[in-house]
Amino acid sequence: MTSQLDQLKRHTIVVADTGDFRQIAAYAPRDATTNPSLILKAVRQPDYAPLLAQTVAAHRGEPLDLAVDRVLVRFGCEILAVVPGRVSTEVDARLSFDAAATQARAERLIAMYAAEGIARERVLIKIAATWEGIQAARALEARGIHTNLTLLFAFCQAQACGEAGVRLISPFVGRIHDWYKKAAGPAWDAAAQAGVNDPGVQSVARIWRHFKAHGVATEVMGASFRNVGQILALSGCDLLTIAPELLAELQAAPAEPGAAPALDAATVPPATAPAPRLDEAAFRYALNEDAMATEKLAEGIRAFAADAAKLDAMILAL
C-alpha cells in the first residue's frame, strides 16, 4: 500500500521533529529537528538516561553550558547516524536577544560536531527569529555555518531571514492556529478553518509564495503541526518537519490517487518589483503590529528557556 507519507515525500522533503532517535528510522525522513523541549522529553525516558549520564560523566567539571551543549551534540550525532541529511540543534533560547553570544554558541556547537567527524553541511543551528537572532544568523551564514530560524510567526520575520541569507526558516503552523482559535472563542468554526483555510497554513503558504516569486533561496520548512490536515495542505512546501505521532498517522493512511501538491512553484508568477527591505526599526514595528506573532514569539522563548533550565537541573543532579 502506498501511504500518505510516501505520497507526501514525492512533493516535499520530510523531516522528523523529535529527539527520540530510536523512533526516526521507521519513517525514513531525510532530516531531523530538535529543540530544548524535545531533548528534555527524550532524556527523561529510561532508554536515554544512560546516554545523558555517560555524556555528563565523560566531561565532569566543565561549565554547565558546555555540558549542555555536549548533550545536544551527542543527541545530534545519534540522529545523524539514522538520517542521511541534516540535524537542527538549537542555541540556548536564553540568548535570543544577544547576537554576539548566539553566534559564539553556534560556533562552539559546530566545532563540537567537527570534533565528532560531522561536516558542518549536515548541521543547522536553530536560532529564535528575533532581530538579534537574525543578525547572528547573517554573520554565521557568511562564515559557512548554516542556520534554521525558528519561532517564526510573522511575515516580517521571514522577510528579514531571507534578506539575511538564512539557509532555512521554520514558520509555525499549530501555534498560529492555537492563537486564532483561542482569540475566536465560541465563534471558532473548526470545519471552516481547516486545511488551506487554517490561519497557520495560510501564513506558511504566503511566505513560501513570496520567496518563490522573489527568488529568495531560503528554504521554507513548515513546523508545529496539530493534525494531518495541516500537513497535507502544505504538501509541496520545501520541507515539513513532523512529530512521530503524525508521521505514524500519515504512514498508516492510504494515499489519495492522483493527488496534486497543494503548493506548486510552477504556478507562482515572478514578482514584478522587488520587496522593500526591512531595517531594524521597520522589523520591530511590523512585529509589534502583529499581536499574534509578538505573543507567540515571547511565549515560545519563555517555554524553551524554561525547558533549558530543567535540562540544566538534570545535568547538575548527576
Catalytic annotation present for 41: no
Q: Is-contact 16 29, C-beta < 8 A?
A: yes
SS3 category, 122: helix
Query: Which contacts qualify for 105-108: CB closer than 8 Å, 24 or more apart?
Result: 105/65, 105/69, 106/136, 106/140, 106/145, 106/147, 107/140, 107/143, 107/145, 108/66, 108/69
User: What residues are paired with 152 via a beta bridge?
Assistant: 171
C-alpha to C-alpha distance for 10 and 185, rounded to whole angstroms? 37
Please give the sequence-ordered ranges of beta strands (E in DSSP) within 10-106, or none if there are none: 13-17, 31-33, 87-90
Check 9, 41, 126, 296 and give the catalytic one.
Answer: 126
Q: Which of these, 135, 128, 132, 142, lies nearest to 170 by C-alpha position?
A: 128
The conformation of residue 292, written as its DSSP 8-state character, comes to: H
Query: Which of the residues are catalytic?
Result: 126
